Amino acid sequence: MCDVGIVMVTYNSVTKLGEFFNKVLESLTNLNTGDLNVRIAIVDNASSDATVQVVSERLSKEPKV
């Protein structure tokens, strides 16, 4: 089994998160990920906007992530 890690560092990135998630998930869908163990790590740098909430909500809706 192969492992793939994606790390994203955020700071007040709420306006860009939707586009990021769409691109990452689209890329993973286009790959044959059957034998891949994919992990996404999102590190927030104390954002003062809703970045953390948006990330939590979005990831809870993605069963593969």
- Residue 11: the pLDDT is 92
**Where exactly are the structural domains of the chain?**
2-60
Q: pTM to 2 decimals?
A: 0.66
- Residue 41: the pLDDT is 86
pLDDT per position as a tens digit, 12-27: 988 888 888 888 878 8
- Residue 2: the pLDDT is 64
Q: Provide the sign of the torsion angle of the four alpha carbons 5, 32, 60, 56, taken in this order.
A: positive
| R_g (Cα) of the chain, nearest Å | 12
- Residue 12: the pLDDT is 92
Residue spans of the chain under pLDDT 70? 1-2, 32-33, 63-65
Q: Kindly state the greatest CA–CA separation across the chain.
A: 39
